[in-house]
Chains A and B, each alone.
Chain A
Amino acid sequence: MQQFFFSGIENGIMFILYLCRATSINKGMNMEGLIRFNVNGKAVSMTLEGERKLLWVLRTELGLTGVKYGCGKGICGACTVLINKKAARACRVPVKNIKGKEIITIEGLSENGKLHPLQEAFMKHDAFQCGFCTPGMILTAYSFLQQNPRPSYDEVIAGMDKNLCRCGSHTRIVQAILTAAQEMAGAKV
């Protein structure tokens, strides 16, 4: 009974939010609102215009400059972050879509000062040159390995194909991901 009651309230709130959104679109207004989410394990609540893109909020307001602008159209992957542990292109994500969600950027990938196996593997294989696409590569690989923890070489190629690197570190990035996959699989046993 209680459960039903709460879900009823939730539905009500959802409905009200929906109305607000519809109104703002109808009037063509830029609605500012309080947005709560979580970044690298820390709760954040900010008053933001909902259409603003996550990339610029992370870089400008939150000082998390590891997330990079590369193309602004979700093509290159330099702005990749994890939203609820899944890779997303922050340059395309309006902040109104991240309410209550958990964001992880490259700055938050290591735990208690210990690098993630992907970071270790990228270092070991020199899997970058200029380093600008690296945060996006690592986080895309993180998300990919969650879905496919023991990938083949060809699967890594397919999984990473939408991330661009101009220096030509591709060969090493693939090797690093395969090494990290092994490392992570070993750790789980």
Chain B
Amino acid sequence: MKKDDESRDIDVQDIEILPRFITRREFLKLTGAGIVIFFFHGRAVAQQNEGGRIYFRQQAPSDFNAFLRIGEDGKVTCFTGKIEMGQGIITSLAQMLAEELDVPLESVQMVMGDTDLCPWDMGTFGSLSTRYFGPTLVAAAAEARAVLMELGANALNAPLSRLKSQNGFIFDNVHPDRKISYAALTRGKRIERHLGNTPPLKPVSEYTIAGKPALRRDAYIKVTGKAQYAGDIRLPAMLYASVLRPPAHGAKLRHADTSSAETMQGVKIIKQGDLIAALHENPEQAQNAMKKIDAQFDIENPKVDDKTIFQHLLDVAPQGQVLASGGSIEKGRSLATRTFEETYLNGYVAHTPIETHTAVVQIKGGRATVWASTQTPFPAQNEVAEALGIPVERVRIITPFLGGGFGGKSRNQQVVEAALLSKLTGRPVQVSWSREEEFFNDSFRPAAVVKISSGIQNRGRIVFWDYNVYFAGDRGAAQFYEIPHHRTYSTGFSYSGSSRRYHPFNTGPWRAPGANTNVFAMESQIDIMAAGAGMDPLEFRLSNLRDTRMKRVLNAAASKFGWVPARAPSGRGYGVACARDAGSYVAHMAEVEVDRSKGSVQVNRVVCAQDMGLVINPEGAVQQIEGCVTMGLGYALAEEIHFQEGKIFDLNFDTYKIPRFSWLPKIDTVLIDNKDFSPQGCGEPAIVCMGAVIANAIYDAVGARLRQLPMIPERVREAL
């Protein structure tokens, strides 16, 4: 038996993890023997319409969209189209699988985001992976374990009732020395199962792997520089491309003189319609050649800029829809003893992953192989096939590690550029955007306006709530307080091409899309009403809530923070905000310090309490929450795209400020491990309160109410 047990001794450094490029032949060999469970995470498909995008399945098998395999060596492999961009699912999904299957975590391999090896998947966004994919993966693992138990019963000649699985072995409970490894059971067999009804699952109370902190499986390769990202792919004869960009959005190319660039040694120039690129075997030389291209553009000069955008959006807003309503706003208004009319604004925000959009494409024998930094490998496959005019099955997208995504890498423009340039040059091509291109081409978080009219009765009861959001989106717009008369209206939100009808450039999903804007507006309004009622903002919230999960996170945050009730502004700089997002409940408390003369804000402390249902990897969850809080400081205090006449003025980190070490508050997290609920989203919920909690803390500190994000010193001074 010793021989079969070797997987347990594997050092973390030797684990094979993505990106692992195996050939198709290897893959067929891999699936040739062993136990294969095909499964379908169907609830995720319902999410395909989320954000107005619809992805069509092409060439995809209809009955499964992920599978796991137990090989003859006992190694377990999960094939999924999801990708790893730092959020840690390469660890948390492996934990869930290892737990249910009763194998050591080290024996699980994740093969992710490879369109040749993995079944179709819509993409990685919306905090869906652990929430929707996870439970199905667990069910598939349970199915596999059931198959192994049956095989074990035969091999050990013992009834099923006497058998137990543990650590990659089936044991006979009565004779514990009688055991057989999964590897031995699988050897020479080919068993295929399609997950039907979910077999009985292991009770959560018996978990030994999931729910425990786990070292990130990508740790070793990330601290040694071995982790490969798309830009690290090197192919023989590969050219680096520099693509001509217009000086402003809406500008049309009139003429490009490339003659001087063409004389440069080793430089290839491509001119195909609007796509003009300089390519060279050395990326600097490609850029030098681009500088020599003399291009003239007709500039459209859209009149809107970062100051006039809000009125523009209100003017062009199309007919929207009522998302929810109850009672009658008129009646509520007549009952109110005080009403509050407010307008909240936020500008465009960039994604700025430290890794810019990158792709490498090689075309050989009518097949394209693509290494892409993308959150949506399968949609990218369609886009490449369309651009090259070849069938989808002749395109393979391989997704190496992503250097951050945050929603911005749902768009695959760089992939299409690399594919076209590879076709036109006949060579492998790498397109890696410069930081300036990354800013210019970004699909920004949309600028938005929220108008709220609300009212309270005596003793601080909210009696009506009329909520109107323009262009931020629906997510986070639903109010969760006990309000008898309410209405929520949303308009102008779209991630499809039609967004360009309203916005001067592309917009798209940005970590917890919509919710950051909506929660900022909503929870600021709640605070304004609390102050109007002369009540402590926490007490005001609790007295208007019935939802026990929300009350629990608020109380948990208050207890960790040491919240002492007081009317705002108390001068202490304390703020509170709460929200529901991606199935999770979050409550934040913050302490800030405001420099009255400069208008600058330092956040000293943030407490976040989160109820995300069952917690799979507590260490990973805390890491995500800290990441959300830190990243959230940016859109709350500094991040905003300045533009005029289609020109983007923020093109690098010199003027566009993202959070730094010196901004860092002390961050405390409280995880409410709520085993009554399946795992919920974690990569996004804790970012949604950051605007409101800081705005409310600023008000408490100095009595100034900020109604526009980001809360830059100039706006703070103005509010004072």
Contacts and interface: CB of A to CB of B under 8 A. Distances in A.
Contacts of A131: 86, 218, 222, 227, 401, 403
Interface residues of B, number: 56
Contact of B224 (A119, A126, A171): A119
B649 interface: no
Interface stretch (B15-23, B55-63, B95-103, B352-360): B352-360
A89 to B, nearest CB: 12
A60 B283 contact: yes
B354 A169 contact: no
A53 interface: yes
Interface stretch (B309-317, B391-399, B417-425, B652-660): B652-660
B528 interface: no
A168 B629 contact: yes
A110 B231 CA distance: 23
B627 interface: yes
Contact of A166 (B232, B283, B631, B652): B631
A130 B664 contact: no
Contact of B219 (A69, A126, A161): A126
A143 interface: no
Nearest to B624: A129
Contacts of B203: none
Given A72-B434, A126-B623, A171-B630, A164 B354 contact: yes
A52 B103 CA distance: 51
B226 interface: yes
B629 A53 contact: no
A66 B403 CA distance: 12
A128 B284 contact: no
Contacts of B234: 63, 65
A21 to B, nearest CB: 20
Given A68-B354, A166-B353, A73 B435 contact: yes
A170 B86 contact: no
A63 B354 CA distance: 20
Interface in B408-465: 432, 434-435
A166 B664 contact: no
Interface in B225-267: 225-229, 231-232, 234, 240
B623 A172 contact: yes
Contact of B354 (A60, A126, A166): A166
B619 A126 contact: yes
By CB atoms of chain A within 10 A, which of B229, B356, B620, B623 has the most?
Answer: B623
B93 interface: no
- Best-buried of B85, B630, B652, B661 by chain A (most CB within 10 Å): B661
Interface stretch (A1-9, A10-18, A133-141, A181-189): A133-141
A67 B354 CA distance: 13
Interface string A150-174: 0000001110111111111111111
B696 interface: no
Which of B352, B404, B628, B658 neighbours the largest number of chain A CB atoms within 10 Å of its CB?
B404
B664 A174 contact: yes
A56 interface: yes
B435 A72 contact: yes
B80 interface: no
A37 to B, nearest CB: 18
Given A63-B234, A78-B354, A129-B87, A167 B282 contact: no
29 contacts: A60-B283, A63-B234, A64-B225, A65-B231, A66-B224, A66-B225, A66-B226, A68-B403, A71-B435, A72-B435, A76-B653, A115-B224, A123-B215, A126-B620, A128-B222, A129-B88, A130-B85, A131-B218, A131-B401, A131-B403, A158-B661, A158-B662, A161-B661, A164-B653, A164-B658, A165-B354, A168-B628, A170-B630, A174-B664
Ranked 9 nearest A-B pairs via Cβ: A66-B225, A132-B403, A130-B86, A168-B630, A129-B86, A131-B222, A168-B627, A106-B225, A65-B232
Interface of B: 85-88, 215-216, 218-220, 222-229, 231-232, 234, 240, 282-284, 352-356, 401-404, 406, 432, 434-435, 619-620, 623, 626-631, 652-654, 658-662, 664, 667
